[in-house]
A = this chain, B = another copy of it.
């Protein structure tokens, strides 16, 4: 298999201040930390013409200090299928007021999505993956979600409902950024167990052509509401150097 030109991409999940001092929003966000770099498969269908690109992953989840005990309300999954798949979901905190653990819906959504990545009907389409994962949930709750799927030709396909986000950093600057969707301040578009929520039809669907060495940063609004892009770029620069120094990629 042609895997000689596998990319040096690194993906960092959101990392927010552990002291919570700069938190500005009510609904749940990230926390937890598992930074291993996933191996890049040496054989994956289908072969394409030209250099193949794949994602190497790093994940950091740091829950809001008040949510640490329950593990936070965010969830994510990564997959090395095809060029690589990554998704983040952010459980909407408001459900706690109704004695519903906001993490349940986001975790189930990511679990279902993870199991459907290779589904034929999904056809490697992030919006369809949102549709089918949402339909497969049975938990009560709601969540924002973003899913990014890399084709080996370098096309990163993205679907997002709500205010999770994604940045592509190239040569020290953000060259691509998603935009949040919200009904009004602090009320994002969200997939829900209830009929009042949004659906895959409300997703913003976009794509961007990646090149070798690009860094993706994907996270919930817990990252992007609290860390400026230039700070993310700065942090990623350090991260990428670290990884390069260890020869991983």
Contact = CB atoms under 8 A, between A and B. Distances in A.
Interface of A: 170, 173-179, 181-182, 204-209
24 contacts: A170-B204, A173-B179, A173-B181, A173-B182, A174-B179, A175-B179, A175-B181, A175-B204, A176-B178, A176-B179, A176-B204, A176-B206, A177-B177, A177-B179, A204-B208, A204-B209, A205-B208, A205-B209, A206-B206, A206-B207, A206-B208, A206-B209, A207-B207, A207-B208
Task: Name, among A170, A179, A209, the residue most crowded by chain B CB atoms within 10 Å (CB to CB).
Answer: A179
A206 B170 CA distance: 14
A167 to B, nearest CB: 9
A9 to B, nearest CB: 16
Contacts of A204: 170, 175-176, 208-209
Q: Is the interface of A mostly helix, strand, loop or mixed?
A: strand
Contacts of A207: 206-208
Contacts of A178: 176
A176 B174 CA distance: 14
Given A170-B204, A177-B179, A206-B208, 9 more contacts: A173-B179, A173-B181, A174-B179, A175-B179, A176-B179, A177-B177, A206-B206, A206-B209, A207-B208
A135 to B, nearest CB: 20
A216 to B, nearest CB: 13
A49 B176 CA distance: 30
Contacts of A179: 173-177
A170 to B, nearest CB: 8
Nearest to A174: B179
Contacts of A181: 173, 175
A181 to B, nearest CB: 6
A181 B172 CA distance: 10
A50 to B, nearest CB: 14
Nearest to A171: B181
Nearest to A177: B179
Q: Return the 8 tightest CB-CB contacts between A and B, nearest first.
A: A205-B209, A206-B208, A175-B204, A207-B207, A174-B179, A177-B179, A175-B179, A176-B179
